Homo-oligomer: A and B are copies of this chain.
Amino acid sequence: MRIGILGSGLMGGKLGTLFAKAGHEVVFSYARSRSKLEALAREAGPRARAGTPREAVQDADALLFSVHWNRVDDVLRQAGDLSRKVVVTCSLPMDDDDTSLIVGHTASGAEVLARKAAGARVVSAFGTVPSEVLTSVFEAREGEARPSLVYCGDDDDAKDVAAQLIRDVGFDPVDAGPLQVARYLEPFTLLIAKLAYEGHDGPTLAYRFEHFEQRA
């Protein structure tokens, strides 16, 4: 697939690199500087390049939406028309201090994004693990049990694309239902962040859902 990265920060930079290593063509866009984008592309190898948001969108099979919430309108303006595009978002609706969600329970950042990017097929994914764990999971995937990664969305084809990308970076995709479930998925992300950044064991944290047989 051809994947455009809208927001090449911690998450976008790392995921784009892993997507390229997994065999996809990647266009990094929207970082502090063009040179940051070019450095990312160099490190990610021959399948990656730097571009503008509009170039990232052009001919993309999927977009990774990974900007800070206060950049949503700006990156959407730069990206242009997203109609029918598969948009995989891990952008949380945090306030400028990154202290609390500014959209919630009766809404979610993913739903707001879907309304703003009218016509785009938005899937919420990748937000629920810290960027620090991505490379370890990607490299650990041979043989070892995969951690889970939940995603949700309203378009089945777009969800299939997201599930494939989740698999490509070494996680086991777990379908949590329609996009509205992002109302729960986004706070779950903050729970993971609490454990990863304020817990004892550090940020290389993932999670796995497991089924236990009923014996009683």
Contacts and interface: CB of A to CB of B under 8 A. Distances in A.
Q: How many copies, total?
A: 2
Interface residues of A, number: 47
B195 A190 contact: no
Interface in A175-209: 175-177, 181, 183-188, 190-191, 194-195, 198-199, 201-202, 204-209
Contact of A176 (B136, B184, B195, B209): B195
Q: Chain A at the B interface: mostly helix, strand, loop or mixed?
A: mixed
Contacts of A106: 100
Contact of A184 (B188, B202, B205): B188
A208 B208 contact: yes
A204 B209 contact: no
A194 B211 contact: no
Contact of A212 (B184, B186, B198, B206): B206
A211 to B, nearest CB: 5
B207 A210 contact: yes
A135 B216 contact: yes
5 closest A-B pairs by CB: A187-B187, A136-B212, A184-B191, A104-B105, A135-B216
Interface of A: 100-101, 104-106, 132-133, 135-137, 139-140, 147-148, 150, 174-177, 181, 183-188, 190-191, 194-195, 198-199, 201-202, 204-216
14 contacts: A105-B105, A133-B212, A137-B212, A139-B216, A148-B207, A150-B191, A174-B195, A177-B198, A181-B194, A184-B191, A186-B187, A204-B211, A204-B213, A205-B212
